[in-house]
Amino acid sequence: MQIIPLKEGNYSVDKNKKFTLITADNQSVLKGLNVGVQPFLIITDDDFILLDTGLGGLVNEIPLIHLLLAKEHIKPEQITKLLISHLHKDHVLGIGHFFENRFIPNFPNAKIYIQTREWDYVKEQKGNTSYLFEHLEETIKLPNIEWMTDDKGQITPEIYYEVVGGHTPFHQVFLIKENEQIAFYGGDNLPQTGYLKYHFAYKNDFDGKKAMNWREQWKILAEKEHWHILLYHDVENAVVQL
């Protein structure tokens, strides 16, 4: 198994959930929370997997996620699965992009795994700036979505998932096992190294106590089984192993 972070950059996030790329020119004046944004590419014997898809965006009309993959000599058509933890815009906008008023999927050969109950919750959240509904409403029309309904299970013999809630009501996490190597993706329930060090219930979570309790359980298992923990929002680190 190969684990490849696809870092889009470090961003400042304000109270309205606006993401501003941090640069040398603006870093002294930005007042928001600093976070990294980095989807992960997992290559197994059978699959090319993306764990969430980033903020999207185009560079010279080319999706940023395509440019990041190209640096790893991977073509978009090679991606077989998109595993979506939750539907906040910074995790899903890389699924597709708009071009001349048409929505173009970025990964035409990939199955997209989305938790049904997460979407049922989100579609009642109109006005919530954590979501970009114009994008989501086109995303859910794609023919290659695999709507997930169970609380936990396996997508393949290597890919496990579980709906844990916490950051959002039906946030799901993923664990991938191959050749005695284990990669764990906790999405925004475990987005940075600090979440492993400090046992806090964070106010930006739907249920901060639930997320905190899950992290305590995951840390015990990670230390026992030597997980590679994938950190979507860490500014400096992408993967840690306990």
Q: Over the chain, what is the mean pLDDT?
A: 96
What mean pLDDT do residues 193-220 have? Answer: 94
Beta-carbon count within 10 A of 171 CB: 27
What pLDDT is recorded for position 26? 86
What pLDDT is recorded for position 27? 79
More confident site: 24 or 164: 164
For residue 12, what are the β-bridge partners? 20, 34
Q: Which residue has the tokens 């198994």?
A: 1
- The pTM of this model reads 0.96
More confident site: 53 or 180: 53
More confident site: 31 or 230: 230
Distance CA 235, CA 226 (A): 22
Q: Is the dihedral of CA 209, 9, 18, 28 positive or negative?
A: positive
Residue 196 banded pLDDT, cuts 50, 70, 90:
very high
What pLDDT is recorded for position 163? 98
Residue 124 banded pLDDT, cuts 50, 70, 90:
very high
What pLDDT is recorded for position 214? 98
Cβ contact 230:238 at 8 Å: yes
Distance CA 132, CA 173 (A): 22
Q: Which residue has the tokens 């795994």?
A: 113
Q: Is the dihedral of CA 129, 134, 137, 139 positive or negative?
A: negative
Distance CA 36, CA 71 (A): 19
What pLDDT is recorded for position 31? 83
Q: Which amino acid is at 42?
A: I
What pLDDT is recorded for position 30? 84
What mean pLDDT do residues 50-68 have? Answer: 96
**Burial letters for 142-170: b for 16+ Cβ neighbours within 10 Å, e otherwise?**
beebeebeeeeeebeebbbbebbbbbbbb
Query: Structural domain tally of the chain?
Result: 1
CATH number of the structural domain spanning residue 237: 3.60.15.10
User: How do residues 200-212 score in pLDDT, each as one tens digit?
Assistant: 999 899 999 999 9
pLDDT at residue 44 greater than cutoff 90: yes
* Residues with Cβ within 8 Å of residue 194, at least 6 apart in sequence: none
What mean pLDDT do residues 163-173 have? Answer: 98
What mean pLDDT do residues 213-236 have? Answer: 97
pLDDT at residue 28 greater than cutoff 90: no
Range of the domain at 122: 2-241
Distance CA 164, CA 214 (A): 8
- Paired sense of beta strands 152-154 and 159-163, if any: antiparallel
pLDDT at residue 175 greater than cutoff 90: yes
* Residues with Cβ within 8 Å of residue 24, at least 6 apart in sequence: none
